[in-house]
Structure 1
Amino acid sequence: MSGRTLVRGDGTPLWQQLLADLRRRLEDGEFDAALPGEFALAAEYGVSRYTVREALRRMREDGAVVAGRGRVARPAGPGGRAGDIEQPLDEPYSLYVAVEAAGRTQRSVVRTFEVRADGVIATRMGLEESTPLVHLERLRLADGEPLAVDRVWLPEAVAAPLLDVDFTHTGLYPEYRRRCGIRVDGGDENIRAVIPGRGEQELLGIGADVAVLSIERLGLSGDRPVEWRHTLVRGDRFSVTARFSAHAGYRVDLAESGTDTPTPPRVSTP
């Protein structure tokens, strides 16, 4: 027997009744961390999962809750946006995938897309300083709002076919695999909180009091360096999560404060 009853046959769709009750319970502070899962809500109200999904979809659309693919819905942060996009530490970082998984609309404004030589970046990738690199800089948007400034460098010798791609609505990694046969399957990454410069604050639409996550990545395909990436992600809209267990566990080697060449964080699962 269900714990809550919806009225059938009065002309009001069940999903609409469920939506109203879930909103009321949300406003009353009943769901501090997360809403019950679809099965639990279906059993509690005596309705189908389709009805539950429709109600939750409406709540996501109006910003009341956020939910990634395969995850329970949870109350949104202030303004319905804070922290609504997550990136697990146990899989390759991808803004495109993270934004799509959060149910947001992904779009990019391409600011720079050219071939250039950059000795500093080439050295970081273990390449000769004069190596030509494909440089792509994008302002990443989620639901039309600035989320990140993303800069990536790729060896032209393998990445030249990407110069014909429109990266306004597509992710880099799928195109890298499809057009160049390159799969980024490993690497080193450094994540730290910083206060961006004024120009980047204006791009991201944030004030001086909002920190961003600075993510630097050396991407590898096997043992071959195929990517250097520097991304600044709004800290009020993005979070990094980790999964662990008593059996497998995880390990993060943090960068030592004050060093010129910090050790990138590493996450391992035996």
Structure 2
Amino acid sequence: MSTKQENIKQLIEEYMKVNQMGPGDRLPSETALSQSFRVSRTTLRGAIRQLESEGKLLVKHGSGTFATCPLPSIPSSLDRLYSIGDMIRSAGLREDEQLESIQRISVCPPDIAEQMRFSENEPMIALERTRTANGEAVAHSINWMPEKLAGPILEGDSFSGSLFQSLEFKAGVRIVGAYSELTVPNYDDAHMTRLLKDPQATVLLLKQLHYDEMNRQVLYSLDYVRSDIFRFWVRRTR
């Protein structure tokens, strides 16, 4: 974002604050705002796009630009193991999920087999869910488990609730840690597009290999999370 767009972005935020604009309140037209701020409509639109990517504005083509109630950021320390649901609830938000698919795969994909140190002949279950906070999609998860482990936690072709708790109380497997890699997914990753609210928005990918009390690899997860909602930090010492 250019310095001029950043300045206009701050002016728009100040305008919303001074006029006590709440969720659903409509801003003046682009023409009126550009004249008021004495700036080109191109610069104004860039600032509005940035505010939209931050969840502070909603642009409805043909209707106008509206103030929203942005979700708070969800912090997580990378040296502690939290589930996506735990992080959402810890931020005081209402957590929910949408089951996308449960796949039973007779031949384990080579990359998953390598990560989990399984034979490619190991039957696997792939559980895919979209997670929401206050009704808004904030994460998309794909969880890989051996079928012999996942069987007790699945109710036919459905699943809901905490995966960690289900594994512990229904399958007798307690996850105690994970090796985690935080990265940025490829631009053409189809799973990432489920979370993109705006072309300028970004998504992080958390790859995690979970292990139990016996140090057995029991779960491999791909967690796509919105970077405007989730913030990860780690304490470093010298």
TM-score tier by shorter-chain length is 0.5 to 0.7
1:181 aligns with 2:172: yes
Cross-structure match for 1:225 = 217
Distance in 2, matches of 1:137 and 1:196, equals 20
Cross-structure match for 2:34 = none
Q: Which string of whole-angstrom CA distances, capped at 9 and with x for unpartnered residues, describes residues 138-192 of structure 1?
A: 0111111111110010111222111118544x11101110101111112311102
The secondary structure found in structure 2 opposite 1:151 is: strand
Amino acid aligned to 1:119: P
Gaps of 5+ in 1: 1-26, 29-61, 63-76, 251-270
Cross-structure match for 2:40 = none
Distance in 2, matches of 1:213 and 1:131, equals 29
Amino acid aligned to 2:76: Q
RMSD between aligned residues: 2.4
Aligned pair partner of 1:172 in 138, 163, 180: 163
In the TM superposition, 1:194-209 aligns within 5 A as 194=185, 196-197=187-188, 199-209=190-200
Distance in 2, matches of 1:225 and 1:104, equals 31
Distance in 1, matches of 2:193 and 2:134, equals 18
Cross-structure match for 1:118 = 108
Identical-pair percentage: 24
1:190 aligns with 2:204: no
Distance in 2, matches of 1:234 and 1:196, equals 14
Cross-structure match for 1:86 = 75
1:102 aligns with 2:91: yes
Cross-structure match for 1:18 = none
Conserved in 1, the CA contact under 8 Å of 2:192 and 2:224? Answer: no
Aligned residues: 172
Q: Which string of whole-angstrom CA distances, capped at 9 and with x for unpartnered residues, describes residues 68-119 of structure 1?
A: xxxxxxxxx7625366112221211311100011111111111111321323
Distance in 2, matches of 1:215 and 1:133, equals 20
Gaps of 5+ in 2: 1-16, 24-53, 57-68
Amino acid aligned to 2:216: R
Conserved in 2, the CA contact under 8 Å of 1:99 and 1:106? Answer: yes
